[in-house]
Amino acid sequence: MLRSPAWSRSFSSNIAPGLVVGVVALPLSLALAVAVGVSPVVGLYTAVFAGFVAALFGGSEFNVTGPTAALVPILSHVVIVHGVDALPMVAAMSGLLLLAMSAFRFGRLMRFMPGLVVTGFTAGIAVVLAFGQLNAFLAVSGTNPKLEHFHERVLDTASHLSTVTPTTPALGIASVLLLVAWPRLPGLRRVPGPLAALLAASAYVQLAGIDTPTLAERYGEISAVFPRPTLAWVDLSVAWALLPASASVAVLGAVESLLSAVVADGLANAEFRHDPDRELRGQGLANIVSPFFGGMPATAAIARTATGIRSGATSRVSAMVHAATVLVATLVLAPWAGLIPLAALAAVLIVVAWNIAEVPEVTRLLRRAPRGDLVVLVSTILITVFFDLTYAIAFGVVVSVALLLRKLIALPAAQELLPDQTGRIQQVSPELSDLIQSRPDVTVFTLQGLLSFHSAAAFEYELWGAEYDALVLRMKDVHDIDTTGLLTLEGVIEHRQRRGKRTMLSAPPPHVRGVMERFGLLDLVGRHNVFEATRDAVNSVPYAHPLDGSAGVAGGPLHAE
């Protein structure tokens, strides 16, 4: 049973990790809000309010919630098509969908999401995020901000590269180099690299008088007041139009949050594992509360969660302290945030995109994965980039299921028990192998796996034309049987009965036997033809004595297989 650690456990020990995560969240929240196309303070408010609510009500002791790179492509598309004012509605609607997913206990189903699909859409998101920063990274001017599709935006940027001057790209490249080198500098790891890069770039721009776009030039002064809750954003007339985007946010938020929770459990070696349905409920509430205070959609962030654990977090208190830290910093430092160069923020997100894309892992998969899996991976990436994340996930899951069914169909559902080159039937005990080989007048087939729609055709093909007078169907290795399997087995039995052939069932597992009994198969085949052991079924068949030709039944004690 899932339980949470007592609140009394080391409350103070989670304050320092929470402060560290809060400092890490500051530059990322600013950068992600800018990437979406909204005021930087929206990202800060999201980290504060969504982060606190998700920590309080979520099912993970370690998840840290806020704006994330995974949501940027969806949310930026919403801003382009419907405007900034649509984001609160998307947040609230996705929150309601997450609550519904929690109520229907979808949390446990998320663990069946194919790993290649997760890798594919994450890599696709990273590509969109990185290319989305080019205009700010290079200070490209004259581009059309209303273009919706990836290829249109890339071509638009390429056609305006003549407007680029060396100053801003040089600042962006320097910021990237600092971000890459920072973790390798001894004694400086306690200071988050993104924070160091933004502080260094801002200081250099002010001291050197560099002419480059800043947050204040793009968005004006950042407010340093506590936001008042409001319902002004509620507009039910656009709810239907925003439903697809809200569903995408909900699905991606669920996948990202539960994936983060699984990673967190592993990193922390936690005694208490996360509750997936409660985590969905916490994320749903967080997304409902966020727009009331000027925030946007949020989900759990793996990087910030891992940072908290590595800093010593042991409970959800650290995520709450993270939210409080971001709030205090927003109220105190907001006026200076306007000095941050947009190129430095773009550099932060480009590095984030590289990290979430897991480029080395994707490269290894492209070189070594089976061809069918490559179809899933590459298609998911391309559909995410050029079309829509929801379509990418749906396509990836459908193709993954199709490939799985193809492999299952290739497995024999019914196989005759025959000796191999060693003279033994390997699927059964040596004694039963000897018995079966001593009775050429009895044919034994072993049934295995799941007798379902995926295996029914092969099963029927193997047995329909069998002319054996005595046929034993060994069911010991059947894990389950559904209606399609029952109907197919029924058809085989009836077909043989019409031709005067005897069919026997042996060693059915208790639950399979119960299903067949309710369906009427045991009465159809005859109770006298159902045996607990395959040995009993074989011995029940009369055979002519080799000396006098009289009919008889094999003697000796009967033992279970």
The domain spans of the chain are: 19-224+236-403, 414-552
Which residue's structure tokens are 């890339």? 154
Does 249 have pLDDT greater than 90? yes
| Token pair recorded at residue 141 | 């001017």
Among 419, 420, 473, 418, smallest CA distance to 448 is for 473
Does 2 have pLDDT greater than 70? no
Q: What is the mean pLDDT of residues 524-529?
A: 92
* CA 408-410-416 angle, 5° bins: 110
What does the alpha-carbon distance between residue 397 and residue 401 come to, in Å, rounded to a whole number?
Answer: 6
Residues 183-224 pLDDT 10s: 888 777 677 888 888 999 999 999 988 889 888 888 888 777
> 425 pLDDT band (50/70/90 cuts)?
confident
Q: Is 284 helix (H, G, I), strand (E, B) or coil?
A: helix
Sign of the torsion formed by the C-alpha atoms of 349, 351, 352 and 358: positive
What does the alpha-carbon distance between residue 82 and residue 358 come to, in Å, rounded to a whole number?
Answer: 32
Report which DSSP code applies to 215.
Answer: H
Mean pLDDT score across all residues of the chain? 86
> 465 pLDDT band (50/70/90 cuts)?
low
pLDDT at site 394: 85
Residues 225-239 pLDDT 10s: 888 999 999 999 999
pLDDT at site 559: 38
Among 248, 259, 257, 297, smallest CA distance to 57 is for 257
**Please, which contacts does 365-369 make with residues 24 or more away whose CB atoms are closer than 8 Å?**
365/116, 365/119, 369/116
Q: Contact, 229 vs 293, CB < 8 A?
A: yes
Q: Which residues lie closer than 8 Å to 68 by C-beta, 6 or more apart?
A: 32, 256, 298, 299, 300, 301
550 to each of 4, 32, 88, 159, 546, how far by Cα in Å?
A: 74, 88, 88, 96, 8
Does 23 have pLDDT greater than 50? yes
Q: Which residues lie closer than 8 Å to 343 by C-beta, 6 or more apart?
A: 136, 137, 138, 139, 168, 169, 171, 172, 175, 201, 212, 213
Type of residue at 49: F
Does 157 have pLDDT greater than 50? yes
Residues of the chain with pLDDT > 90, as a percent, come to 38
> 462 pLDDT band (50/70/90 cuts)?
confident
Tell which wins on pLDDT, 9 or 465: 465
Type of residue at 86: A
What does the alpha-carbon distance between residue 536 and residue 354 come to, in Å, rounded to a whole number?
Answer: 64
Residues 310-355 pLDDT 10s: 888 888 999 999 999 999 999 988 888 888 899 998 999 899 888 8
Q: Residue length, the chain? A: 561
Helices and strands counted in the chain (H then E): 25, 9
Residues 295-306 pLDDT 10s: 999 999 888 898
pLDDT at site 189: 67
Report which DSSP code applies to 49.
Answer: I
pLDDT at site 551: 45
| Token pair recorded at residue 134 | 């080019």
Which residue's structure tokens are 């002419």? 211
> 560 pLDDT band (50/70/90 cuts)?
very low
Does 451 have pLDDT greater than 90? no
Residues 78-125 pLDDT 10s: 999 999 999 999 999 999 999 999 999 988 877 778 888 888 888 888
Alpha carbon 402 to chain centroid, angstroms = 18
Sign of the torsion formed by the C-alpha atoms of 356, 61, 264 and 397: negative
458 to each of 121, 145, 357, 499, how far by Cα in Å?
A: 35, 56, 41, 21
Does 558 have pLDDT greater than 60? no
Task: Give the homologous superfamily in CATH for domain 414-552.
Answer: STAS domain (3.30.750.24)
pLDDT at site 548: 45
421 to each of 341, 370, 425, 461, how far by Cα in Å?
A: 75, 32, 9, 26
User: Backbone phi, then psi, for 338, in 5-degree steps?
Assistant: -65, -15
pLDDT at site 552: 45
Does 406 have pLDDT greater than 60? yes
User: Judging by DSSP bridges, how do beta strands 470-481 and 502-506 pair with one another?
Assistant: parallel
Tell which wins on pLDDT, 192 or 56: 56
331 to each of 15, 59, 203, 463, how far by Cα in Å?
A: 19, 30, 21, 76
pTM across the whole model: 0.75
pLDDT at site 557: 37
Beta bridge partners of 504: 472
